[in-house]
Structure 1
């Protein structure tokens, strides 16, 4: 029996108009804004496996973290000024190796003169023996503790970077 994915989402308001916010976001590399700390290793390398920009359906990038952990991400949907959806596979970190895959999305919505950005992440655990207890441990340790903290801090970083770049470009 397939279980529903575990989900987490966080939102932030970026004081930059929607089209400019989306354009600035799509020019960023994950290592420019993803939060790292004692629990979340910093990104050491991003390489394109397929495609050139990681902005088109089917593009695949490999992200390597300090310590050697790797995640492959594939663009599943790209709707200008609206949505960016990707799938992550090949998680090699402890606990994350319980994942079959994950789906992430960044949703962009006009919010007055700014943009509401919602980052959603769905974790699909591998089926098998012990899935119930693994699901409980994964939710408590990874989703509620680690991912919650990382997403919250990453969205603060994203807000600051996009706002600053919009100001530098005179688009705010």
Structure 2
């Protein structure tokens, strides 16, 4: 299967990266976070809506290729495709087809997760790489970026807390 990637080497993107440490081993953090239930961890933060549900998922979210549609609390949605997966180490996806304000700022986004050994635990790095529309880069890199970074920090913290709790109290 050939996946058409949104972002290429010639694109001038706006990357936003957050990171957090976890007491889990990298393989465990990966196993729990990659297929996580989006509405569990993506809640409204500032102007950004939470995820209400996910529809139209084509396959299990454990290899490159599957697609799905996150539905947001404000009634908007996006198209998401898992583009890369290195088991226990990293995964990447792209979001396009936004029906909210992001459709006026960016052609889409590449999300990338890395799970790096950190002593007895894991350093989790999450990057959202925006591909701004012509003339919109200054908005995405300027006033938008710190707001989005906050959204990511809150969501990543929820994911880490949820995954660490799931290991202590296994999810059925």
Aligned partners of 2:39 and 2:92: how far apart in 1?
Answer: 18
Answer whether contact 2:45 2:150 (CA < 8 A) is retained: no
Distance 1:45 1:157 in 2: 17
Of residues 95-104 and 14-23 in structure 1, the stretch that sits farther from structure 2 once superposed is 95-104
Paired residues, number: 161
* Structure with greater helix percent: 1
Moved runs in structure 1, 4+ residues, more than 3 A? none
Cα shift at 1:126: 2.4
Q: Does the CA contact (< 8 Å) of 1:48 and 1:54 recur in 2?
A: no
2:56 and 2:37 mapped to 1: Cα distance?
Answer: 11
2:161 counterpart residue number = 160
1:8 aligns with 2:16: yes
Across the aligned residues of Structure 1 and Structure 2, the Cα RMSD in angstroms comes to 1.6
Gaps of 5+ in 1: none
Highest Rg: 1 or 2?
A: 1
**Structure 2 contact 35–61 (Cα < 8 Å) conserved:** no
TM-score, normalized by length of structure 1?
0.86
Partner Cα separation in structure 1 for residue 153 and residue 16 of structure 2: 11
Structure 1's 141 and 69: CA in aligned 2 closer, same or farther, altered over 3 A?
A: farther
Structure 2 unaligned spans of 5+: 1-9
Counterpart of 1:46 in structure 2 is 54
Report what 2:117 is aligned to. Answer: 110
* Structure 1 residue 55, shift from structure 2 partner: 1.9
